[in-house]
């Protein structure tokens, strides 16, 4: 199964969330907090109450991330070990480009 290396990274060491504006219908009590992963583009929608409690949490995994969910933990760890050098090299190149701007 061919899977995007960044999606393997998400499953192994966690998503890289950023908040995006929520324009959907309010379905739970509390304020909606919509997050999208910079790497795999999965989304997470939390509802936070006025005391900071988590009222609801829902995920909308990207098609690529759904593939990872069918793999065992051992499988995605092995995949990550195989692709991490590529990921680190890409991230270093991206960070160098950011510093130039």
Contact residues for Zn ion (CB under 5 A)?
A: 10, 15, 37, 39-40
CB of 15 to Zn ion, least distance (A): 4
Q: Least distance in Å: CB of 38 to Zn ion?
A: 7
The beta strand positions in the chain, using DSSP E, are 17-20, 31-37, 43-48, 54-60
Match 């992963």 to its residue by tokens.
37
Pick 3 or 39: Cβ nearer Zn ion: 39
Integer angstrom CA distances of residue 56 from 11, 30, 46 = 22, 9, 6
Rank residues 39 and 79 by Cβ distance to Zn ion and give the closer one.
Answer: 39
Q: If you ran DSSP here, which 8-state letter would residue 52 be given?
A: S
Q: Kindly state the smallest distance separating residue 17's Cβ from Zn ion, in Å.
A: 8
């Amino acid at each position: 199964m061919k899977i995007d290396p960044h999606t393997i990274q998400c499953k192994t060491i966690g998503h890289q969330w950023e908040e995006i504006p929520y324009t959907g219908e309010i379905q739970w009590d509390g304020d909606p907090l919509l997050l999208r992963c910079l790497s795999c583009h999965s989304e997470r929608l939390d509802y936070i109450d006025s005391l900071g409690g988590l009222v609801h949490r829902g995920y909308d995994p990207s098609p690529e991330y759904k593939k990872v969910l069918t793999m065992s933990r051992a499988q995605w760890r092995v995949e990550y070990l195989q692709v991490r050098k590529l990921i680190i090299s890409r991230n270093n190149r991206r960070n160098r480009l950011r510093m130039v701007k």
